[in-house]
A and B are shown apart, each in its own frame.
Chain A
């Protein structure tokens, strides 16, 4: 028997249900790719358990995962960003930043919306902190990405801007095709991905730039809502699997600029990855939700670089400080300037066949063929 309370509740909730239902329907031509790395939890609730990243979201029917890029529709998990990038551009490879990968080349850069972190200082928040359902997207199947990169004479395809882990399937399919065509695949990521999908991806990745945002769990908890340990595991795996690796550390005053923390990070890098992994220390400027804060002093950035070099790392760079000597590459053997950079521009390059032109020392990287 329907009583008055039940009747009123139904009437009030009905329009809301209709609204959800309308949004639930996949758009024509998109949102139809089934995700990988999940398991179905079955009836009656039709939930799913995603295992792509350490969040391991349990996603109820009709809901999005934490990343906002995966949606459970009647017990099937869909990768919403597949073949629907919201950002498609051609950038200098140095912008990613990759300093030891095909200098002065162009990189075909793509991203679908979403991210599995909540960094308060995100530069691309307009597309990282929303779902592909909310952005204006292009329809660009994997084959079209590779063709566009070839037509633009790009030597690499970079999965960047947002968090490419969240368009994993798209990235993987593009990478497979790119490999066949001799185009490098570059991955700029927060490193917050589970080992199994990462290892599969490594078969097709050529270069990875991982944002090691801070070297403490406290920093990751406070400003990113994430964990440090999985990121460190990702970095080690990439290195072990032979993917060219560069690390970016955005230094934020009062948050992760402690010299002791930076020294620990550099020691960890040298011990676990070796001295040839380039590290980029970037100057922070107020961004997104972190606006009531001063920019990083240049002296802090330069000190971080000094710490890295003294720890024994061969390649330590300053970022967002145009004109700084730290933008350039110096031979670890003879100490001479071998790649001069200003911003994203390479003004001179003395690396020939992967060696210093002056002393012949090997300079690690993915250099032009």
Chain B
């Protein structure tokens, strides 16, 4: 029965984390940094809960009743947090239309996630103590609990992602979890009280089983409706759904439909932003004499495809959209504009990741139009890298053109705005010998291998539009003369003089950093110095910092003793998170973003953790020197990190020569990296004999989570984008080397009595 409780503990944690993360992404219209902050808030809350429980429980008897009360609190906190997240903005007086900055994301994440995260971490430490009481002969109760909890996490991740989210809303899932927790606790109490109906038993039945059941039937839908209405207060919400990839909402204002994805407007019909749509399409297609095959990546419905269809020479438009639910929503609320786009026989939608499409297609195109607005997160940034541009060049006809847009200005460029444009422009120049920029409030970049692009004039475009009998609302000859002025181009390029921005690469996605810095300037300008400082971080400086950290820890070790093991666990948590992100991100770069695949990759990592923890937990008593084994695990992790750099350096050739092998290699590497983390935790709890079980589990679990939190934050936001993948892995290897050195210097006296 206790094993079932532990499985449900793991399941509950991943369900809560996944659902709350999705709600927060909608609330914050999240980019990479806000995503990292939200995850960090969860992890820190868990770490705090685990640590506090460790200290609090060591002088108490942890029994089923205590565990039940803690579970009750966790079960109650979860749906309350869902509601609080949705109504956060009206609750604190922020108008729904206003975006929030990083400082708001930070305090909102922590204040909203603290109760649920704290209680889940609290439960973990309690579970270890409970297990130790139930199984006094177990050599590594924490290891066993870690193993079962991880299994529960794997099962929960699969269940919530594949079964729950597509069919149930968050409150239904939340109350379902309450019910499940309730049933487990009742059974746990029944076993411990041998079937006697104590007051606690009866109260638990009422609170955990009857109330959630009633809530599921009567209240969940009402709560969902009320909370969603508060999110879109004052607006006519006609559609609200969660797909695998995102939240989609549709607002109707008079005769206009606006389709929001994760809280941001994406498509407006029947009249889109005419200036943006017409310039994007006609400034590119009218450059070509007879455009026949067009590819739209990442968007197009809602105006752009309609404009492209005006050209009589167009025979085929391939439209790549990752999320079929988006087109389903657009079809549900059709207007003449979208109907003309989506029912035209020349338009072929493809529901897959754009990078995957351009890698796999054998077609060749006259024009490839990238409809992704900017590199605002790692997913979107993949379309703005040098490697992606090289893939696009491969699928262009001779004389074909590639078009993309970036944020711009006709008045002034801040350093942040300059950096985004310079970064992508450098990558573009590395692939396409000819570029033409049309500066504006949105900059339009045209790129080609053909010298014809350098001959573009307003007269040429005007004549081509006339010859093709293409009529527009905006594109007059005077407008073309104004927009294609050499003076404006000269000014644009002069603003980019001496801008020290890194070119945007797959394995050094600097575009994300610059975009986040630009968005931060809008929403939290007081943090600008932090971003300015971050850009000065180089690999030698990062190594020096790690060195400094090592000496500080060394001094702390002399003062307090026994910090080498928590430090090792924290750095392993950090390394594990960095390696996991590296492998998942690398997979996406190669294969594209596919929801099912991502879930499989995360499962492989978690399975590795589970395998490692149970392997050690089951055999700990046999080894004479668990300490030597711990050291060996540290060394193996360092070597593994170095092996990864070699794998990534061979990635391109492996993709071409052994694609299937590479696919399985990713899974294997994730599984292997999970094993190291899974092994170290139970080893550490077994070695760390100086404190009670509750306290040492609390300390080590907190260290593990803290390391993971820091690793996630630094890797996604700072190390990847600015240092690149290889430097990040080398830095991680160096950090683990420092941790190993510290362990060796402190020796056994620093760990075991």
**A residues at B contact (CB < 8 Å):** 86-87, 89-92, 111, 120, 123-127, 129-130, 135, 161, 222, 253-255, 285-286, 288-295, 297-300, 320-323, 342-347
Contact = CB atoms under 8 A, between A and B. Distances in A.
B99 A291 contact: yes
B473 A124 contact: no
A86 B441 CA distance: 17
Given A120-B98, A127-B411, A291-B29, A347 B476 contact: yes
Given A222-B95, A285-B273, A322-B278, A294 B473 contact: no
B479 A254 contact: no
A297 B474 contact: no
B251 A294 contact: yes
B457 interface: no
Contact of B98 (A92, A290, A295): A290
B434 to A, nearest CB: 27
Interface string B521-549: 11101000000000000000000000000
Contacts of A291: 29, 97, 99, 264-265
5 contacts: A254-B234, A289-B98, A323-B472, A345-B482, A347-B476
B99 A124 contact: no
Interface of B: 29, 95-99, 234-235, 251, 253-256, 258, 260, 263-265, 268, 271, 273-275, 278, 409-414, 417, 441, 472-474, 476, 478-479, 482, 487, 491, 521-523, 525
B97 A293 contact: yes
Contacts of B409: 126
Contacts of B441: 123
B253 A294 contact: yes
A345 B411 contact: no
A291 B479 CA distance: 28
A126 B414 contact: yes
Nearest to B441: A123
A333 B652 CA distance: 72
A91 B487 CA distance: 11
Given A295-B265, A300-B254, A323-B274, 20 more contacts: A90-B487, A91-B410, A124-B411, A126-B414, A135-B412, A286-B264, A290-B97, A291-B99, A292-B97, A292-B260, A293-B265, A294-B260, A299-B255, A299-B256, A322-B278, A323-B472, A342-B479, A343-B275, A344-B478, A346-B478
A90 B411 CA distance: 10
Contact of B474 (A86, A290, A342): A342
A31 B702 CA distance: 53
Nearest to A347: B476
Nearest to A222: B95
A213 B212 CA distance: 49
Task: Please provide the 3 A-B residue pairs with the shortest distance between their CB atoms, ordered closest to farther.
Answer: A323-B473, A294-B258, A345-B478
B99 A292 contact: yes
A119 to B, nearest CB: 12
A137 to B, nearest CB: 10
Contacts of A222: 95
A317 B161 CA distance: 51
A161 to B, nearest CB: 5
Contact of A292 (B29, B234, B274, B476): B29
B221 to A, nearest CB: 25
Contacts of B263: 292
Contact of A322 (B253, B268, B474): B474
A291 B30 CA distance: 12
B256 A298 contact: yes
B201 to A, nearest CB: 48
Given A299-B254, A321-B274, A343-B275, A294 B474 contact: no
B473 A322 contact: yes
Nearest to A324: B473
B268 A295 contact: yes
B474 A343 contact: yes
Contacts of A299: 254-256
Contacts of A126: 409, 411-414, 417, 521
B476 A343 contact: yes
Contacts of A120: 97-98
**By CB atoms of chain B within 10 A, which of A253, A286, A290, A292 has the most?**
A292
B481 to A, nearest CB: 9
Nearest to A161: B411
A357 B617 CA distance: 95
Contacts of A294: 235, 251, 253, 256, 258, 260, 265, 268
Contacts of A347: 476, 478
Nearest to B278: A322
